């Protein structure tokens, strides 16, 4: 086939994106695909992911480049970003009238389609399409063939989780609304592929119109095993005290990460246990949330728990070492829809997870024996699970199932599935146009 040009667009700084780009580029550099790639990313991405920019320089035939929106374009996006009330109200308009003109996400969608035209892309990928399906369900035109990656479907959770999940009326209404949006978006005239990284949702999409456009992407991870000396060096640089068991919370720290429920549970631990615990928080944090949790963490310190705060961006190359340093990885996410790379990184490092029992994450931890799940609204239950993980001589991790989980999520599989699916879709589209 003729050389194709694919645009990959992401201005969200979503946690998954840099990992995806790394996997894509490593595979792209190893396989001579008959195509070229243009990534449209934020200035923040360009500043913090310099190793990925360097990796792209090794692409065959200089077939990969990165571009960023102008300052004026970024200002426009910031002006509409997070306008939840407006989006909720106009989303009702989309459902009622099929109009997306007032929907808050339409500004980003317009920028996406503008760049597709500007770059003359044969196929354009919205790398985090979740909030743009309402625009698609109204069939807002896209002058170019498009695809998207959907991260957080939750309409299937009542069937998936069974008796452990009892949604209220609002949650059931949201699930029905989400099914409608997906079903309608699949009928968009320019959509070629809708990717899901949730392995459980695929079976629940089989009855949708144009379900052949749906493809499953195994969420990837890149884990570079650390040497014992590297782990010891990180332990020394952080100042982890000897004899303490380390609880790790990693990633962008927000109220939804369950930090406060973990603090409350740690506060209830027996005093002799508290003197054997180190709580390590690593990742970026908003100033307002930091002001909220720092006094709570100070109180833990007074009770004898060592608290280490590394509030900064952690490069991918160092991220794996934090997981190997940890004794327990904590992921008490509140009402988190979709998967999380935290599960994969903990599994690759052979560290047990303490995870919320909700959603695809909770189901994954149970299915693959990756640790313990718990109801995050119950500090006593979280504390009991912590005691089990900190004091039990037996690990809750099932070694065989953990290994199978890691093997099923290799970066090469993810990237090859992605590129093969896109190029097949383009080939089919060109064949249909020629008829």
Beta strand ranges found along 47-172 (DSSP E):
64-67, 123-126, 145-150
Task: Express each pLDDT in 106-136 by its tens digit.
Answer: 778 889 999 999 999 999 999 999 888 888 8
Q: Each residue of 401-416: b (16+ CB within 10 Å) or e?
A: ebeebbeebebebbbb
Can you give the pLDDT at residue 435?
A: 47
pLDDT of res. 143: 78
Strands 371-374 and 35-40: unpaired
Residue 33 to residue 36: CA distance in whole angstroms: 8
Fold of 4-220+410-434: Rossmann fold (3.40.50)
Phi, psi of 198 (to 5 degrees): -85, 115
Q: How many residues make up the chain in this entry?
A: 435
Residue 154's Cβ-count burial label (10 Å; 0-12, 13-18, 19+) is buried
Q: Return the domain boundaries, the chain.
A: 4-220+410-434, 228-407
The pair of structure tokens assigned to 198 is 């949730």
pLDDT for res 50: 92
State whether the Cα torsion 163-164-167-168 is positive or negative.
positive
Give per-residue pLDDT as tens, 372-382: 999 998 999 99
Cα separation, 146 vs 291, whole angstroms: 42
The predicted pLDDT at position 86 comes to 45
* CA torsion, ordered 408, 414, 418, 420, to nearest 10 deg: -70
Helix runs in 186-286, H state only: 228-238, 259-267, 271-274
Number of CB atoms found within 10 A of residue 144's CB = 18
Stated pTM of the model: 0.89
| 3.40.50.150, 3.40.50.300, 3.40.50.2000, 3.40.50.720: CATH of 228-407 | 3.40.50.2000
| Domain 228-407 in the same topology as domain 4-220+410-434 | yes
**Residue 77 confidence (pLDDT):** 72
- Positions in the chain short of pLDDT 70: 1-2, 79-105, 139, 429-435
């Amino acid at each position: 086939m003729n050389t194709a040009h694919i645009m990959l667009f992401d201005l969200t700084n979503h946690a998954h994106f840099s990992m995806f780009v790394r996997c894509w580029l490593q595979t792209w550099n190893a396989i001579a695909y008959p195509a070229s790639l243009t990534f449209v990313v934020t200035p923040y991405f360009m500043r913090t992911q310099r190793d990925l920019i360097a990796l792209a320089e090794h692409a065959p035939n200089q077939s990969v480049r990165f571009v960023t929106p102008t300052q004026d374009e970024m200002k426009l996006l910031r002006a509409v970003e997070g306008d939840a009330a407006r989006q909720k109200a106009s989303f009702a308009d989309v459902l009622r009238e099929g109009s997306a003109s007032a929907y808050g996400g339409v500004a980003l969608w317009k920028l996406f389609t503008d760049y597709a035209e500007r770059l003359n892309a044969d196929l354009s990928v919205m790398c985090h399409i979740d909030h743009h399906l309402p625009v698609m369900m109204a069939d807002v035109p896209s002058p170019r063939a498009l695809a998207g990656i959907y991260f957080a479907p939750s309409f299937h959770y009542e069937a998936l989780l069974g008796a452990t999940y009892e949604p209220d009326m609002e949650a059931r209404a949201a699930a029905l609304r989400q099914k409608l949006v997906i079903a309608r978006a699949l009928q968009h005239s320019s959509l070629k592929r809708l990717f899901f990284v949730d392995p459980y949702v695929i079976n629940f999409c089989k009855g949708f119109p144009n379900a052949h456009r749906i493809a499953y992407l195994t969420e990837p991870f890149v884990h570079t095993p650390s040497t014992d000396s590297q782990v010891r060096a990180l332990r020394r640089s952080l100042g982890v005290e000897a004899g303490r068991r380390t609880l790790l919370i990693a990633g962008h720290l927000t109220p939804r990460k369950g930090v406060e429920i973990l603090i409350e549970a740690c506060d209830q631990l027996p005093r002799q246990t508290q003197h054997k615990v180190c709580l390590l928080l690593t990742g970026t944090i908003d100033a307002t949330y930091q002001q909220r949790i720092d006094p709570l963490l100070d109180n833990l310190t007074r009770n004898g728990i060592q608290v280490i705060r590394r509030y900064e961006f952690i490069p991918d190359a160092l991220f794996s070492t934090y997981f190997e340093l940890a004794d327990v990885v904590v992921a008490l996410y509140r009402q988190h829809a979709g998967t999380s790379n935290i599960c994969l990184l903990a599994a690759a490092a052979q560290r047990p997870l303490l995870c919320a029992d909700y959603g695809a994450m909770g189901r994954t931890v149970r299915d693959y024996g990756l640790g313990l799940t718990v109801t995050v609204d119950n500090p006593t239950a979280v504390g009991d699970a912590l005691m089990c993980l900190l004091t039990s001589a037996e690990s809750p991790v099932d070694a065989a199932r953990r290994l199978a989980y890691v093997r099923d999520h290799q970066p090469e599989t993810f990237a090859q599935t992605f590129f093969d699916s896109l190029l097949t879709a383009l080939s089919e589209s060109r064949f249909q146009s020629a008829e």
